[in-house]
Structure 1
Amino acid sequence: MKTRVTEIFGIKYPIIQGGLAYLAYAELAAAVSNAGGLGQITAATLGTPEKLREEIRKVRTLTDKPFAVNLAIARHDNGGKYQELLEVVIEEKVPAISITGANPQPVFERIKGENIRTLVLVAGARQAQKAEELGADAVMAVGQEGGGHLGRDDIGTMVLIPRVVDSVSIPVIASGGIGDGRGLLAALSLGAEGIEMGTRFIATQECIHANEKYKQAIVHAKETDTVVIKRTLGAPGRVLKNDFALNIIEREQEGATYEDLKDVISGKANLEYIYDGNEVEGFGWAGQVIGLINTIPTVQELFDEMILTAEKGQSRIDRLFGELNHR
């Protein structure tokens, strides 16, 4: 399967693993890269340059394939500054980075002349055009079905992807609501040249940092079992529906400010659930794709199933068009 995404990033399949705060570490990233995709480790929630350097080197003991580091440049959860983390990425000669969360221009200025491939997460055509102007190798466009932080305009993936594809000349990677081979084939049909998945990779065996209760919640939930928090704060994010998340929304509707909510929307509250399984005092990010997830496979098993399903889907489409042409 060859697209500009596979060629740019040196991977077999155009499948990118999401940044996944607190979950995207060496074991998962290496498994994705070994299966033929582009695995990522998350820099911001590692916190310190020393921990990031250690994790990068750990990935290299587990795979000789390309991988990326996600820089969520608006996050400083553990006191780390993204500029310090970026210096480690450069020193360690990481082949690719993804940039999320804020204006990526300072990152592009710093890595000019370095041999680092770049992905920028966007939620609309204007953001994608800006990323292209800055020199991004590709953009990842996330529809409102996605888990974690989203765009503010509630644009679904089905509309967003062709809209972004039509607005830029660089490759577009589809994200949001994708979790199997059908989603991969659909994204390619919309003009994307690859996909990014976050939620689906949480429910895999190599996502060892995710609590089993969190994984089981993803497996057993329906597509209606998510809600969007932080909408009134201008930073909407989709999470699993539980009483803790519903309470956040209720307080938002009552006019709560960021200062009022900062403890319940913090990384600490996220960790209470995803690490400790404490849904009474925490929340877990998840997209609507949970309605399509009912297993916890190895990453390799997931890739095998996805490619097989995409091939069967392509054969079905070919057959339908063949029948149409013979009428």
Structure 2
Amino acid sequence: MRRLCELLSVHYPFIQGGMGNISSPVLASAVSEAGGLGTIGTGTLTVDEVELLLLDMKKRTKKTFALNIPISVTENLKGMCELAVKHAVPVVSLSAGNPAPYIHYFKQNNIKVICVTASVKHAQKAEKAGADLIVGEGFEAAGINSPLELTTMTLIPQLVAKVQIPVVAAGGIGDSKGFAAALALGAEGIQMGTRLIATKESPYHERYVERLLEADDTETVIVGRSVGKVRRILKTAYADRLIQAEGSGIHPDDFEAMTDEEKHRIGAVEGRLEEGFINGGQISGLVKSIPTVQELFKEMMEGAEQIYENQMKTFKRFYLKH
């Protein structure tokens, strides 16, 4: 954990996942102020739109933060990379595409580079290209997912065994138990998205938060397999429409239109759950409270420490008896 915290200049080994077009400087700055790495996601926003978010973010916090750039969906990729340099963004997170062509540009401008991956092969390539940190994202995660469908439990230890740079676990983690489990797998920190939706600093619509709080263990669904666009979302009336459309053999372009970032904004920000979807990871069933980000981080650190102390005592008692 210390290596990760020193690398990112953060107090806690917690990274906020990129939230695309619904990124909010309010929540991201709260994460950074609480000691984690807050993140602004570019999604499909324009360079000008993202610049406004960055300016707002820099007004709200002087602490370290990141800019997540999803390579395959960013229209003006060159302009977005230049924007990160223009505003001296401390950390850039690259996802949804091959990061290799862009890593050197950021590194020569003193920007740390995180690469989000879902396989050992891609993690090794990112490390070879100069990445500072790997986020291994399991299939439990919310939003766009890898078609490989590897789970966090199986992915993280394999990544740790094959790369030398720090590995952060993402997907299905949102409490002290999940954090402790990630550390046991060899991760040096975690990345969270869904859990941060239900915090006091969250700017998202109350219907989104309520839907998350009432969710049980089976309240997320995968859509897009039939068109090669795997995404995990919460069950809603709009999710039912997507499932029905897939069952009827929807064209990939039509599916793309039904699941674009605007449809996500309609659901998450405006709360129109009949007209837009809301992302949700499998952690959804464990989210039952709305703490501040600071309270969440403190509970996760203290809870994980207690778990390890208790488990060590149990292990020693068992070992001595045998």
Q: Same fold (TM over 0.5)?
A: yes
2:198 is the alignment partner of 1:203:
yes
CA-CA distance at 1:112 after TM superposition: 4.2
> What's the RMSD between the two structures over aligned residues?
1.5
2-structure distance, mates of 1:214, 1:18? 17
Summarize the alignment of residues 26-37 of structure 1 with structure 2, pairs less than 5 Å apart.
Answer: 26-37=25-36
Summarize the alignment of residues 127-138 of structure 1 with structure 2, pairs less than 5 Å apart.
Answer: 127-138=122-133
- Asked if the contact 1:119/1:140 (under 8 Å) is kept, the reply is yes
* 3-state SS of 1:111 partner: helix
* 3-state SS of 2:147 partner: coil
2-structure distance, mates of 1:278, 1:108? 38
CA-CA distance at 1:61 after TM superposition: 2.2
Moved more, 150-159 or 185-194: 150-159
In the alignment, residue 18 of structure 1 is paired with which amino acid?
G
Moved more, 310-319 or 282-291: 310-319
In the alignment, structure 1 segments of 5+ residues that lack a partner are: none
2:48 to 44, 47, 50: 50
TM-score for both structures, normalised by structure 2: 0.95
CA-CA distance at 1:315 after TM superposition: 1.3
Instruction: Map Cα deviations across residues 60-95 of structure 1 (whole Å, 9 max, x no partner).
Output: 22222111111112224xxx5122121111011111
CA-CA distance at 1:238 after TM superposition: 0.2
- Asked if the contact 1:44/1:82 (under 8 Å) is kept, the reply is no
1-structure distance, mates of 2:139, 2:46? 31
CA-CA distance at 1:178 after TM superposition: 0.2
- Asked if the contact 2:124/2:162 (under 8 Å) is kept, the reply is yes
1-structure distance, mates of 2:177, 2:207? 27
- Asked if the contact 2:104/2:130 (under 8 Å) is kept, the reply is no
- Asked if the contact 1:44/1:73 (under 8 Å) is kept, the reply is no
Shift >3 Å, 4+ stretches: none
1:237 to 211, 231, 236: 231
2-structure distance, mates of 1:218, 1:305? 20
Moved more, 51-60 or 300-309: 51-60
* 3-state SS of 1:326 partner: helix
Q: Name 1:63's counterpart in structure 2.
A: 61
Q: Name 1:302's counterpart in structure 2.
A: 296
2-structure distance, mates of 1:289, 1:201? 11
1-structure distance, mates of 2:8, 2:2? 10
* 3-state SS of 2:21 partner: coil
Q: Name 1:145's counterpart in structure 2.
A: 140
Moved more, 250-259 or 130-139: 250-259
TM-score for both structures, normalised by structure 1: 0.94
* 3-state SS of 1:136 partner: coil
Q: Name 1:322's counterpart in structure 2.
A: 316
In the alignment, structure 2 segments of 5+ residues that lack a partner are: none
2-structure distance, mates of 1:44, 1:254? 29
Instruction: Map Cα deviations across residues 225-250 of structure 1 (whole Å, 9 max, x no partner).
Output: 01011112222110001232132223
1-structure distance, mates of 2:22, 2:107? 29
Q: Percent identity?
A: 37
Q: Name 1:119's counterpart in structure 2.
A: 114
